[in-house]
Structure 1
Amino acid sequence: MTLPQHDAIYADHADYYQRGPYARYMTDRKLVGRAPVAMFAAEQPDGHFPDPALPNLLLYRARKGAREARFDWGAGRWRGTWRRDDLTLVPAGAASDVTLSDRHGFLGICLPVAMFATPDDPMGQATVDRFGSLYAAPFRDRLVGELCDTLWREGGDDGLGCGLFADSALQLLTDRLRHLAVASAPRPKSVTLSRRTLLRLDEAIRARLHERITVADLAAISGHSPSHFTAIFKRATGRTPYRHIMSMRIERAEDLIAARSGQGLADIALDCGFSSQSHMTAVFRAMTGRTPGQSG
């Protein structure tokens, strides 16, 4: 079954169901909280049910699901089984398109965007724009489900008489949705350096151990900016680029001391990129606990 859209302006989804083409499917409508927030219950046959874009977020809680459901409200198409107690969140300002294979029933809560306002986001829009993971597909959460049922029981014709309790429950509901959105958001991939890149860096360092080597030089080889290179290099190796270079210089110095017993330490220090013998001695002592003369 497909029903036509109306050109009338509706305050929210509850108003659309009450006055629009789905009026005969609404079974009850309530207001809750001092604002108040509109809630409604509906039972519909199988069919195709497009809704217009409306200013509120719509939180569905399935009371009777469907074996096959197709949802699309601008966050990507989803297809699957819509189970009893599944929760579905429709973005504010998004036209929705729903097709269900069976007779179904649900509870809807019309959540104003302003309810998600924070000191950093006084209008609430930036916050709800980050709910993409909740818009993409039905989800389940016991606390959200219990809050939906509690608010429905406490609601009335005018939303009065339960103001403080209902407002607290609504605040808890919005806080929980924020938490779920953060928890379910895809984690950004941790940037690191591949083994191949680390080998290239070591080859470049060995070739230039006798020269001055900067972080910018190594960052250019890795393909990352100097500002990010130190952090990702340490994550990959466990030490900073400076300490890694010094370790490689110490290794080279130890090899040369063992191989060139007649060569002075000052010359070996310069060959390994230390500014002087005293510099090499200080680095040796700091990193190995011994002096170059104790090597070999």
Structure 2
Amino acid sequence: MDTHEPVIRSGALVPERARRWSGFEAGLFAAAAHAVEAPPSPDLRLSLHVGPPVRAHCRAEGIVQSRLQSQGDIDLLPAGASGVWEDEGPARFLLLRLTPALLATAAEGLGLASGRLEFAPRLQLRDPRIEHVGWALKAELEAGAESDPLYADSLGLALAAHLLRRYGAPTREPALGQALSRRQLGRVLELIEARLDQRLTLAELAAAAGLSPSHFKPLFKASTGLAPHQYVIRRRVERARALLLDSRLPMAQVALDAGFAHQSHMARAMRRLLGTTPGALRRERR
């Protein structure tokens, strides 16, 4: 499950303002005493506390905190991570979401390989640079009038670059024999089956497992023997084969229903994996 807003479990959360720029978005939220759940997402998320102090109880990827949450406190959730925040009183915070594409652009500008870096969840972080960007974006939201998007875009790119330099860590290769848990694998395979006829991204599959894309890839291969894209193509071929044998749908429609871009795409994949063509399979059912 992925939403652009936190999920409310109790209390009232009021979105005040929100805007989207190139590769990232920002939203101001106000809440009474509440419990907010942040489900796994393909985006990296930063929450900056901008209201009066409030006692809070937080859980994120095995980290548990009971704290006095003060103005300027920052929580960082990497792609695929989830968390729960329970505030004892009214709270106000700025939520920033950075897409994988923005992080990749920033990494390229720094001469880094973004696929070889990963982030760890951090709670009640103090970082003057993140805070400075956060207050600037808050001012942009509160100004109301449309401002020059180049200014906000430059803030987003600067924030992504700072996060990569300061908090990005080399991706750890999984230990020999390490794989996805049965529950993680089940969630990922369920998502693949449900959306086989749609566009799937690595970030979405990783989020279903509660992992970053770079950490997810080797664990998925260890669990299935195939890279994620190879597994998806194989399942699409299997679905197309079943449709060709058990239905009278036109081949072009079979290709779309199985998740292929077009009929030729389906034929190439089928020839590579099954050693046959859609036409030959269709003739088998006669």
- TM-score norm. by structure 1 comes to 0.47
Larger radius of gyration: 1
Report which structure shows greater RCO (CA 8 Å, sep ≥6).
Answer: 2
- TM-score norm. by structure 2 comes to 0.49
